[in-house]
Structure 1
Amino acid sequence: MIEASGLTKRYGDRLAVDQLTFAVRPGQVTGFLGPNGAGKSTTMRMILGLDAPTAGTVTIDGKPLAAMAHPMREVGALLDAKAIHGGRSAYHHLLCLAQTNNLPKGRVAEVLELVGLSEVARKRSKGFSLGMGQRLGIAAALLGDPKVLMFDEPVNGLDPEGILWIRNLMKGLAGEGRTVFVSSHLMSEMENTADHLIVIGQGRLISDCTVQEFIDRNSALKVRVRTNDPAKLAELAGSAGGRAEPGEGGALLVSGLDLTRIGDLAFDNGIRIHELSPLQASLEQAFMELTKDSVEFHATVPMAQGASRDGKVEAGS
C-alpha cells in the first residue's frame, strides 16, 4: 500500500503539491487523474524518493523507499519510457538493471516474453518505436516481481492491441493482490481499467472514490425519452421541476427527474412512451465538470473563416 500524509512540494513561490493525503490500496487498479500541471508527476516522484517533499510523508508498506534493502523487489515504476541508453539492446538494458539490483538473470527473459519483446531483445533500443519503448519500460518495472507498481501514461504510443494488453496486465496484477497506481490523461482507458480514482487539481486532492461514485457525483442524470407527444411531455417535465431538451432521432433528454417520475407523468396524461432509458455519463464528462476550475491552460477553438463567435456565418463571407 502507498500512503501519503500531508504531502507538500514547493518550488520557490510555486506550490506544486498541497497537503495531499491519500492511500493506494492493494488488490485494485487506482487511477491518478488531474489536468496538466496538477502535480501528478511531482507526487509520483516523491513517492519514489526522486524528489524530497517540502512537508509531509509518503510510505510504501509502512516505510519510505529509501529504507528498503531491495527496492526493485518492492516497487516497480515506469515514469519515463525514454530513459533508456539507446546503444543498449533491450536484453542488456534489463540485464544491467537485474545485476545492479541482485535479481536473477533468468528474470530478464521472462519479462521480455511477458511484454512481447523477445524477438527484438538483442536489437538496440534507439531503433524502437514509442510503443516498443513503453513495453520495455513496463518490462523494467516488472523485473523485480514487485508488490507495488506505478505507471505514468503507460499506454502512450501503444496500438489498440497493446492498449488492451496493458489494460489486462494491470487488472491481472491487481487481481494477484498487488498495488497498482496509474496516471493517465486517457479518460476512456481509465474508465475501462481503474477501480478507484484519486483526482487532484492545482496540487490539492479533489476526489478519492470509486469510478462509479466519481461519475455519479459529478454528472447530472439524464433520461432519454421517445414518445408520441414530445412537446407535451417536455412541458409537463418543466412544470414538474425538470428540464427537457431535444435529443437525437426526435427523442427528448430529460434532466432533474428520475425514470419513475417521468413514466408517471406520461401515464397520468395519456402520453405513450416508446423508450425510457437512463443515460450514463462518461468518466471524461464527469472529470471535465469537476476539474473545470483547476485547468492551468485554457485554449480557444479556432473559428472557420467568416464565422462569428456564436457559430453563425457573418454577412458578406
Structure 2
Amino acid sequence: MIEVRGLTKRYGPKTAVDGLSFAVRPGLVTGFLGPNGAGKSTTMRMILGLDHPTSGTALIDGRRYDRLRRPLTRIGALLEAKAVHPGRTARRHLTWLAQSNGIPPGRVGEVLDLVGLESVARKRPRGFSLGMGQRLGIAAALLGDPRVLIFDEPVNGLDPEGIHWVRHLMKRLAADGRTVFVSSHLMSEMALTADHLVVIGQGRLLADTSMARFIAENARTFVRVRTPEPERLRDALATAGIEARQGPEGALEAERPPAGPAELAARIGELAAERGVVLHELSPQRASLEEAFMRLTHGRVEYQAREG
C-alpha cells in the first residue's frame, strides 16, 4: 500500500505539489492522471525517495522508502527507462540490481523471459529501441517480486502487441493482490486498464474515486436522436420526463438520469413508435474518460495552446 499524507514540494516560489493526500490500495490498478505540470512526476519521485518533500510524508507499507531494507523486494518502479548504465548488457544491468538487493541470480533470467528480452540479454541497452528500453525497465521493476509497483508511462514506445501485454500484466499484478500505481497520458489505454483513479491538477487532489464514478460525475451520457419531426418527438419525450436539447447537425440530445443510455434509447424508440414519429438515428452516446478528464482539469493546465 502507498500512503501520501499532506505531501508538499516547493522549488523556490513555485509549488509543484500542494498538500496532497491519497492512498493506493492493493488489488486494484490505480491510474494517476493530471495535465502536464500537475506534479505527477514529482509526487512519484517523492514516494521513491528521489526528491525530499518540503512537508508531509509518503509511505510504502507504513515506511518511508529510505527506511526499507532491500527496497527492490518491497517496491518496484519504472520512472525513466533510459536510466541504465550504457556499458552494461541488459543481463548485467539486472544482475547488478539483483546483487545490490540480495535477490537470487536466477530471478534475472525469469524477468528477462517475462518481458520478452531473453534473446537480447547480452546486448547493451544503448542500442535498444524505446520499446525495448521500456521492457527492460519493467523487468527491473519486477526483479524483486515486490508487492508494490509504480509505473510512469509504461507503454511509451511499445507497439500494439506490447501495449496489450502491459495492460494485461498490470491487471494480473493487481489480481495477485499487489498495489499497482500507473501514470499515463493515454486516456484510451487508462480507461481499459485502471480500476481506480487519482487525479491531480496544479499539485492538488481533484479526484480519488473509481473509474466508473469518475466518468459518471464528470462527463455526459446521452442519446442522440435525429428525426424529420423534431417538435413531435420533443412533445413525446417531455410527457415521459425526458429532457431533449438541441445538438449539432440538427440532432436532439436526450437525457433522463439515472437511466443508462441503452435503457433510455429503448424507451425513446418505444415512444416514437407509439406516436408514429420517424427516426433517422437513435444512438446511445457513452461518456468517455477523456471527456471526463478534460472537463475536470479545464483551467488547471499549466501550458495551454490556443486553437487557431
TM-score normalised to structure 1 length:
0.88
C-alpha displacement of 1:299 = 1.1
Question: For 1:23-38, what aligned pairs fall within 5 Å after superposition?
Answer: 23-38=23-38
C-alpha displacement of 1:279 = 1.2
Q: Deviations over 1:35-74 (max 9, x none)?
A: 0000000000111111111111111111111111111000
| Of 60-69 and 37-46, the range deviating more from structure 2 | 60-69
Residue aligned with 2:36, SS: coil
- Contact kept, 8 Å, 2:223 with 2:255, in 1: the verdict is no
Residue aligned with 1:177, SS: coil
Indicate how the Cα distance of structure 1 residues 90 and 206 shifts in structure 2: closer, same or farther if over 3 A, else same. Answer: same
Partners of 1:79 and 1:184 in 2: how far apart? 11
C-alpha displacement of 1:275 = 5.7
Q: In the alignment, which residue of structure 1 is the partner of 2:159? A: 159
Q: Deviations over 1:72-102 (max 9, x none)?
A: 0000000000101112110011011111111
- Contact kept, 8 Å, 2:226 with 2:252, in 1: the verdict is no
Q: Are residues 1:101 and 2:107 paired?
A: no
C-alpha displacement of 1:238 = 8.4
- What RMSD, in angstroms, separates the aligned Cα atoms of the two structures? 2.2
C-alpha displacement of 1:246 = 4.0
Q: In the alignment, which residue of structure 1 is the partner of 2:6? A: 6
Q: In the alignment, which residue of structure 2 is the partner of 1:117? A: 117
Question: For 1:85-234, what aligned pairs fall within 5 Å after superposition?
Answer: 85-227=85-227, 229-230=229-230, 232-234=232-234
Q: Which amino acid aligns with 2:247?
A: E
Q: In the alignment, which residue of structure 1 is the partner of 2:289? A: 283
Q: In the alignment, which residue of structure 2 is the partner of 1:294? A: 300
C-alpha displacement of 1:301 = 3.6
- Contact kept, 8 Å, 1:222 with 1:253, in 2: the verdict is no
Q: In the alignment, which residue of structure 2 is the partner of 1:254? A: 253
- Contact kept, 8 Å, 2:3 with 2:23, in 1: the verdict is yes
Q: Which amino acid aligns with 2:300?
A: S
Partners of 1:253 and 1:281 in 2: how far apart? 17
Residue aligned with 2:181, SS: strand
- Contact kept, 8 Å, 1:234 with 1:244, in 2: the verdict is no
Partners of 1:118 and 1:2 in 2: how far apart? 32
Q: In the alignment, which residue of structure 2 is the partner of 1:243? A: 245
TM-score normalised to structure 2 length:
0.90
Residue aligned with 1:242, SS: strand
Question: For 1:41-56, what aligned pairs fall within 5 Å after superposition?
Answer: 41-56=41-56
Residue aligned with 2:46, SS: helix
- Contact kept, 8 Å, 1:16 with 1:42, in 2: the verdict is yes
C-alpha displacement of 1:235 = 7.1
Partners of 2:125 and 2:281 in 1: how far apart? 55
Question: For 1:260-275, what aligned pairs fall within 5 Å after superposition?
Answer: 262=268, 266=272, 269-273=275-279
The aligned length equals 299
| Of 160-169 and 58-67, the range deviating more from structure 2 | 58-67
Q: Which amino acid aligns with 1:5?
A: R
Partners of 1:238 and 1:11 in 2: how far apart? 56
- Contact kept, 8 Å, 2:243 with 2:254, in 1: the verdict is no
Indicate how the Cα distance of structure 1 residues 269 and 244 shifts in structure 2: closer, same or farther if over 3 A, else same. Answer: farther
Indicate how the Cα distance of structure 1 residues 174 and 222 shifts in structure 2: closer, same or farther if over 3 A, else same. Answer: same
Q: Deviations over 1:246-275 (max 9, x none)?
A: 45xx8x341444528756864675424576
Structure 2: which 5+ residue stretches go unaligned? 258-263
Partners of 2:55 and 2:184 in 1: how far apart? 26
C-alpha displacement of 1:244 = 2.5
Partners of 2:297 and 2:248 in 1: how far apart? 27
Partners of 1:253 and 1:7 in 2: how far apart? 46
